[in-house]
Amino acid sequence: NSIFAHVVRAPEDPILGVTVAYNKDPSPVKLNCGVGAYRTEDGKPLVLNVVRRAEQKLVNDMSRNKEYLPIVGLADFNKSSAKLIFGADSPVIQENRVTTVQCLSGTGSLRVGGEFLAKHYHQRTIYLPQPTWGNHPKVFTMAGLSIKPYRYYLPATRGLDFQGLLEDLGSAPSGAIVLLHACAHNPTGVDPSPQQWEQIRQLIRSKSLLPFFDSAYQGFASGSLDEDAQAVRMFAADGGELFVGQSYAKNMGLYAERVGALSIVCKTADVASKVESQLKLVIRPMYSSPPIHGASIVATILNDRDLYNDWTIELKGMADRIIRMRQQLFDALRARGTPGDWSHIIKQIGMFTFTGLNPEQVSFMTKEYHIYLTSDGRISMAGLNSKTVPHLADAIHAAVT
Ligand code: PMP
Determine the distance from the C-alpha atom of residue 193 to the mean position of all C-alpha atoms in its chain, rounded to a whole number. 18
Ligand 1: distance of its center to the CA of 106 in Å? 5
What is the number of the ligand 1 atom nearest to the C-alpha of 181?
3
| DSSP at 289 | S
Among 391, 388, 390, smallest CA distance to 43 is for: 388
* pLDDT for 270: 98
Active-site residue flag, 79: no
Distance 2 CA to ligand 1 centre (A): 36
| Interval 106-164: pLDDT, tens | 999 999 999 999 999 999 999 999 999 999 999 999 999 999 999 999 999 899 999 99
pLDDT, averaged across the chain: 96
Strands 259-265 and 210-215, how do they pair?
unpaired
b/e string for 63-91 if b means 16 or more Cβ within 10 A? Answer: eeeeeebebbbbeebbebbbbbbbbeebe
| CA 312 – CA 128 distance, rounded (Å) | 31
Contact 93, 83 (CB under 8 A): yes
Global pTM reads: 0.96
**Active-site choice (191, 250, 311, 342):** 250
Does the interface predicted TM-score (ipTM) exceed 0.95? yes
Q: What is the pLDDT of residues 206-229, one digit of tens each?
A: 999 999 999 999 999 999 999 999
Q: Are 134 and 14 contacting, i.e. CB atoms less than 8 angstroms apart?
A: yes
Pocket lining for ligand 1, CB < 6 angstroms = 36, 105-107, 133, 181, 186, 214, 216, 247, 249, 255, 260
The CA 243 to ligand 1 mean position distance, Å, reads 16
- In this predicted model, what pLDDT tens digit does every residue of 357-371 receive, in sequence order? 999 999 999 999 999
Residue 192 pLDDT: 97
* pLDDT of res. 36: 84
Lateral strand order in the sheet of 146-151: 98-104, 259-265, 242-247, 210-215, 177-181, 125-130, 146-151
250 given a catalytic annotation:
yes
Rounded to whole angstroms, the Cα distance separating 323 from 348 reads: 10
Helices (H), 239-388: 269-287, 293-302, 305-336, 344-347, 359-369
Residue closest via CA to ligand 1's atom 8 equals 36
C-alpha 339 – ligand 1 centre gap (Å):
33
- Selecting among 214, 228, 376, 394, the annotated active-site residue is 214
**pLDDT, tens digit, 9 for 90 and up, residues 302-342:** 999 999 999 999 999 999 999 999 999 999 999 999 999 99
Please give the backbone phi and psi of residue 165, each rounded to the nearest 5 degrees, phi first.
-60, -45
Condensed to tens digits (0 to 9), the pLDDT of residues 181-215 reads 999 999 999 999 999 999 999 999 999 999 999 99
Indicate whether 35 pLDDT > 90: no
Is the per-residue pLDDT at 17 higher than 90? Answer: no
Q: Encode pLDDT of 362-401 as tens digits.
A: 999 999 999 999 999 999 999 899 999 999 999 999 999 9
